[in-house]
Structure 1
Amino acid sequence: MQLSILDQSMIPEGSTPTQALTNTIALARAADALGYHRYWLAEHHATASFASPAPEIMTARLSAETTGLRIGSGGVLLPYYSPFKVAETFRVLQALAPGRVDLGIGRGAGATARDARLLNPALGHSSDHAFAEQVSATRAFLGERGDQDGIMPSVDGMPEIWLLGASSSSAALAGRLGLPYSFAHFGRPEIVAEAVRTYRHSFDSRGGGSPRVMVGIGVYCAPTRAEAERVFASQRLFRQRMTRGDLRPVPAPETALAQLHGRPEIPRTSGPEWPPYAVGSSADVAEQLTAMAAAVGIDEFVVLSTIHGHEDRVRSYALLAEALGVRPRRVAATQDA
């Protein structure tokens, strides 16, 4: 089981978007040394919560800041863009970091209807068929068709393409296209097993590939359960605000606990078999992820941790990597961000 990171470049309360991007660079360096497999950047537009509208730019920066990590988008929201332009951009990234670039492709969210129209004034309703054609075109432009059409730069190999989603229909599409699939479990935990079954059942291996399943999950590790619940309080209040359309920066744990009346997270007595978040000591979290991977059929977890304090966030990822036996990586020294 491989372990990776999804970073939304969240903006902590009391901080700035610039500092959020600096934190992303620092976290990527730490992830590289800790031995994580890949590091993905999310795409969100016109929000005070995240400083992440351009994952392709951060991919370029982080590929220069790291040595062993795969770096990429998690993901590019393809309906907003030209497949030709996306292919050009990721060909450049492949030339800059050969064999280390991922192109995660998504379809939904990331922008309001207004912002989506600003991103692409010609944007209409994206049907399943139209999106599938966009994905296929991007794939072709990255490969032999792009070479034939003279798309530059001409590079050896191509980025690893993943299809992202949170539904059985996206799982089926990834399977039909013969692509690796990343399921956003933190968004739709109740259907993770169904989506993985659908993907594997639908997978077309005629292109020579084999099915690969990545699952995105929220993880909040600390030395004790009580401390993990404290840092998780920020995510609890942040998510409550999001459901009301309140997209402020991520609150500090003290702010969150005050507004949550100091209550710890209440254990679920019903709901999805596999919760969207793993919260606790590193041993507890590692046990939950290992059991889930075996039961559902997961090859890789991509971990999202909405933790206010940068040091707490790095600590959470370090504890998780150690508990799951990830081997640290020797990395070259880099300049300070």
Structure 2
Amino acid sequence: MTRLSILDLAPIPQGSTAAQSFKNSLQLAQHAEALGYHRFWLAEHHGMPGIASAATSVLVGHVAGGTKTIRVGSGGIMLPNHSPLVIAEQFGTLESLFPGRIDLGLGRAPGSDQRTARALRRNLHSDADEFPRDVQELLDYFSDEPQSPVRAVPGTGLHVPVWILGSSLYGAQLAAAFGLPYAFASHFAPQELMQAIEIYRNTFRPSAYLDKPYVMLGFNVFAAETDERAFFLASSAQQAFINLRSGRPAKIPPPIKNFLQQISEGERFMLNQILACSAIGAPETVAEQLHAFIAKTGADELMIASNIFDHDARLQSYQIAMNVFQPRPSQLI
């Protein structure tokens, strides 16, 4: 059956703090667990005033420690920022603390601008082959008999599930070549979605990690009791995307009524492109849009993002999404 999961960035609304966002993230994870969501992932970003999930592995531990059954992981760790050994040790520690519940999604982007990436003390001039080598090195650390003389302690033999994340065709090719599950960031970069899915499924090589391709897709949901209120709530995320693309990242702004009528045609065009994979509306509207997206893509799993200013409204949006979600037979992982 198709699964439904959550992507959280520990958002910081205007007037709030990172400390409050961590409390909200834990409450959301507990809410998601009670509703039947499968995973709760947190994403690594740096230098973003509205995103508090920079120390991703620490926050994964916080959420896992406050929940019981839901899988918790990274969506993702930006591997160019880190030594593979350090990530193996961190996620080996998490797996040892919360056995059978930890996922490790890996991204190739820095999750920041060039100045911030430089401050992370990583080499910004690495060749194109470094990411695949780093993934392979990380997989080796988790194996029963690593080829490397260096050992990740904890880590060795723990077989933490590793995912490849991407928003382009590169990630699809790499995930297929390694025989790993693939998560596509269609919730903010949908342009190459269908081509990436096709490449991944058509070139997938069965591996010790996975015998058949498994696709998880990002999808935005802004759900409320009426279409009008849902579009009102969605305006916070729309403002945040415009601010980001304009070089003015900020905390999550409060919603604005009739926001789309107040911006330029160019800004509306940009939002239509970025947020093409979204459901905005009342329960019936969201159900129709969710079903259409699953029918179009054949997704094995959806990872829902609801970047809503008001925390209670955010909880309600995720509840509506689960209430209207109709799973279908599919490949399980």
TM over 0.5: yes
**Match of 1:232?**
234
**Match of 2:134?**
134
CA drift of 1:112 comes to: 1.0
Distance 1:146 1:59 in 2: 25
Whether the 8 Å CA contact 1:2–1:37 is kept in 2: the answer is yes
Distance 2:259 2:184 in 1: 33
- When normalised by structure 1's length, the TM-score is 0.88
1:253 match: secondary structure: coil
Distance 1:220 1:126 in 2: 40
**Match of 2:186?**
185
**Match of 2:46?**
45
**Match of 1:144?**
144
| Post-superposition CA distance 1:268-322 (Å, at most 9, x none) | 8xx77x9222111122222222222122121000011110000000000001111
Distance 1:278 1:159 in 2: 32
Summarize the alignment of residues 55-94 of structure 1 with structure 2, pairs less than 5 Å apart.
Answer: 55-94=56-95
Counterpart of 1:209 (choices 208, 211, 226) is: 211
Relative distance call for 1:246 and 1:262 in structure 2 (3 A) is closer
Residue 24 in 1 paired to residue 25 in 2?
Answer: yes
2:318 match: secondary structure: helix
Distance 2:186 2:259 in 1: 28
CA drift of 1:109 comes to: 4.2
Structure 1, gaps ≥5 residues long: 327-337
Residue 97 in 1 paired to residue 98 in 2?
Answer: yes
Distance 2:81 2:124 in 1: 7
Distance 2:56 2:207 in 1: 31
- Tell me whether 212-221 or 198-207 shows the greater mean CA deviation: 198-207
- When normalised by structure 2's length, the TM-score is 0.90
**Match of 2:107?**
106
Whether the 8 Å CA contact 1:218–1:303 is kept in 2: the answer is yes
1:164 match: secondary structure: strand
Alignment length, in residue pairs? 321
CA drift of 1:174 comes to: 0.7
1:219 match: secondary structure: strand
Q: Counterpart amino acid of 1:293?
A: I
Relative distance call for 1:2 and 1:107 in structure 2 (3 A) is same
Once superposed, what is the RMSD of the aligned Cα atoms? 2.5
Whether the 8 Å CA contact 1:91–1:152 is kept in 2: the answer is yes
Q: Counterpart amino acid of 1:212?
A: Y
Whether the 8 Å CA contact 1:172–1:199 is kept in 2: the answer is yes
Distance 2:48 2:3 in 1: 31
- Tell me whether 204-213 or 245-254 shows the greater mean CA deviation: 204-213
Whether the 8 Å CA contact 2:110–2:117 is kept in 1: the answer is no
Relative distance call for 1:311 and 1:153 in structure 2 (3 A) is same
**Match of 1:332?**
none
**Match of 1:296?**
297
Relative distance call for 1:15 and 1:212 in structure 2 (3 A) is same
1:205 match: secondary structure: coil
CA drift of 1:155 comes to: 6.5
Relative distance call for 1:240 and 1:294 in structure 2 (3 A) is same
Distance 1:77 1:267 in 2: 30
CA drift of 1:144 comes to: 2.4
1:223 match: secondary structure: coil
CA drift of 1:146 comes to: 4.2
Summarize the alignment of residues 139-288 of structure 1 with structure 2, pairs less than 5 Å apart.
Answer: 139-146=139-146, 149-153=150-154, 157-207=158-208, 209-254=211-256, 261=262, 275-288=276-289
